[in-house]
């Protein structure tokens, strides 16, 4: 997949996805309030949640690009982060959950950087 194909598939440029992942990472590190996971926040920041003009959105991006992440939960492609089913809200961004999410964000950015 090249950059043009990525944009046509996921609704924004590789650079925009990278920029927004870095923003989410920064907010998480600074302890700013983030709700739910990477996909939710990424979709919201990219303003893709109300768009039906693209085949895929941030949820699809994370699901597909995280499939080869070495810490993947193995829970299909829906939940790449190992977590407890009782994890809710801001708990997604604390302790081990925070560390997993930061690692996955770095992995996704690395994958994006490989797209030419």
pTM of structure: 0.85
* Range with the largest mean pLDDT of 4-8, 58-62, 84-88, 89-93: 4-8
* Range with the largest mean pLDDT of 1-5, 43-47, 59-63, 87-91: 1-5
Can you tell me the mean pLDDT for 78-85? 68
Check pLDDT > 70 for residue 106: yes
Domain ranges of the chain: 3-113
Q: 101: pLDDT confidence band, cut at 50, 70 and 90? A: very high
Check pLDDT > 60 for residue 90: no
Within 8 A by CB and 6+ apart from 68, the residues are none
Check pLDDT > 60 for residue 100: yes
What's the pLDDT tens digit per position in 41-80? 888 888 765 555 555 788 889 989 998 998 887 765 557 7
How far are the Cα atoms of 6, 46, 52 from residue 12, in angstroms, in the given order?
8, 7, 13
């Amino acid at each position: 997949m090249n950059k043009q194909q990525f944009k046509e598939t996921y609704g924004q440029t590789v650079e925009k996805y990278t920029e927004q992942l870095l923003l989410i990472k920064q907010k998480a590190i600074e302890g700013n309030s983030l709700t739910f996971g990477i996909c939710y926040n990424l979709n919201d920041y990219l303003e893709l949640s109300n768009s039906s003009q693209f085949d895929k959105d941030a949820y699809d991006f994370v699901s597909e690009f995280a499939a080869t992440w070495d810490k993947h939960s193995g829970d299909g492609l829906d939940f790449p982060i190992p977590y407890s089913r009782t994890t809710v809200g801001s708990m997604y961004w604390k302790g081990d959950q925070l560390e997993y999410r930061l690692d996955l964000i770095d992995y996704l950015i690395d994958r994006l950087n490989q797209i030419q």
